[in-house]
């Protein structure tokens, strides 16, 4: 039963952490900071909360390391997808600008 | 059946998985959740890209409001706590308390979905539709309903799953016989909570 002690971390402490981090997130939205800073802070806070849930509520911290790799795969795929889609996203923006320029140009004549 | 076929069948049937020695079901749930997370990951990545390349994306905070959703987030965190309590009591051999906590968890999920239905109704009345809205880019509504809808369906499925597990415990007098089943439903439930943390941040706060 050596693992049984590991299996019951202090759940209430995790609950309070999650509650506090949620309040911090809400506070960050109203902080007088640049949009980029707020964005980075919010992403970091969300990932921290997700990590707490996975590590303690889902017991990932007390499982084999391989299970953590399985759990991380979707995150890696999602981030990869963002980079795959990024060039398309910029291409669309450029095309729209070009389209607008072409549409307004003949009106000048 | 040749002896060779028999031997090879036998060779792949390990008595226990090296990753989750408690049960194969737990490994199965983890792999399912990893796949499901790809679904959510793709939706959120797509959302991010469409939002980044849009010039008239509405400010989510103004369009959606976050007071109700913040309360819903808190509710889901609370339901995660009642879920771990259910497993804790079952581990101590108290089926009665475990069932109560599972029912609290299911109730939390049911209230969450009800609040979401209320929120959707409210937003639809304000003009947020899947193909357009009064504030800007029409994809704002599309992504909002797709992502929160996909998550809401997961919560709904989770409530049904939790109630099915309550029945499973009721049919088994020995608490140890349902420990794995409760741990596995717990994994699913915490995953739904984890996804909401992401959805709340990316769709409402950012």
Domain range annotation of chain B: 22-205
Residues A3 and A51 in one domain: yes
Q: Which tens digits make up the pLDDT trace of B69-79?
A: 999 999 999 99
Instruction: Residue A55: give the domain boundaries.
Output: 1-63
Residues A15 and A53 in one domain: yes
Q: Is residue A93 pLDDT above 60, yes or no?
A: no
Residues A42 and A89 in one domain: no
Nearest to A74 among B41, B78, B202 (CB): B41
Residues A70 and A57 in one domain: no
Which residues, 6+ apart, have CB-to-CB distance to B75 below 8 Å? B108, B111, B112, B115
Query: Which residues on B lie below 8 Å from A31 (Cβ)?
Result: none
Chain B, window 91-110: residues with a beta carbon less than 8 angstroms from a chain A beta carbon:
91
Residues A48 and A85 in one domain: no
Which residues, 6+ apart, have CB-to-CB distance to A68 below 8 Å? A60
Q: Which tens digits make up the pLDDT trace of A2-32?
A: 344 455 788 899 999 999 999 999 999 888 8
Please state the domain count of chain A: 2
Specify the fold of B22-205: 1.20.120
Residues A25 and A55 in one domain: yes
ipTM of the complex: 0.83
CA distance B42 to B198: 13
Residues A76 and A45 in one domain: no
């Amino acid at each position: 039963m050596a693992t049984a002690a590991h299996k019951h971390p202090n759940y209430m402490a995790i609950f309070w952490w999650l509650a506090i981090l949620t309040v911090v997130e809400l506070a960050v939205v109203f902080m007088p900071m640049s949009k980029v800073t707020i964005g980075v802070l919010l992403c970091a806070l969300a990932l921290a909360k997700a990590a707490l849930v996975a590590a303690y509520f889902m017991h990932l911290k007390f499982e084999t390391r391989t299970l953590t790799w399985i759990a991380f795969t979707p995150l890696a795929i999602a981030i990869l997808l963002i980079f795959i889609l990024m060039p398309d996203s910029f291409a669309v923006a450029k095309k729209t600008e070009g389209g607008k320029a072409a549409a307004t140009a003949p009106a000048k004549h | 059946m040749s002896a060779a076929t028999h031997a090879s069948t036998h060779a792949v049937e390990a008595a226990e998985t090296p990753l989750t020695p408690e049960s194969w079901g737990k490994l199965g749930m983890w792999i399912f959740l990893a796949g499901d997370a790809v679904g959510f990951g793709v939706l959120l990545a797509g959302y991010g890209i469409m939002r980044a390349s849009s010039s008239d994306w509405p400010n989510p905070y103004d369009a959606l409001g976050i007071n109700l959703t913040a309360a819903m987030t808190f509710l889901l965190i609370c339901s995660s706590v009642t879920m771990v309590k259910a497993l804790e009591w079952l581990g101590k051999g108290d089926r009665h308390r475990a069932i109560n906590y599972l029912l609290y968890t299911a109730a939390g999920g049911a209230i969450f979905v009800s609040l979401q239905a209320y929120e959707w109704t409210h937003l639809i009345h304000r003009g947020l539709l899947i193909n357009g809205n009064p504030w800007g880019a029409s994809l704002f509504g599309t992504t909002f309903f797709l992502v929160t809808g996909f998550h809401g369906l997961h919560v709904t499925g989770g409530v049904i799953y939790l109630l099915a597990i309550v029945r499973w415990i009721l049919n088994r007098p020995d608490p140890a016989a349902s420990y794995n089943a409760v741990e596995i439903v717990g994994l699913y439930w915490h995953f739904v909570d984890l996804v909401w943390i992401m959805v709340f941040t990316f769709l409402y706060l950012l």
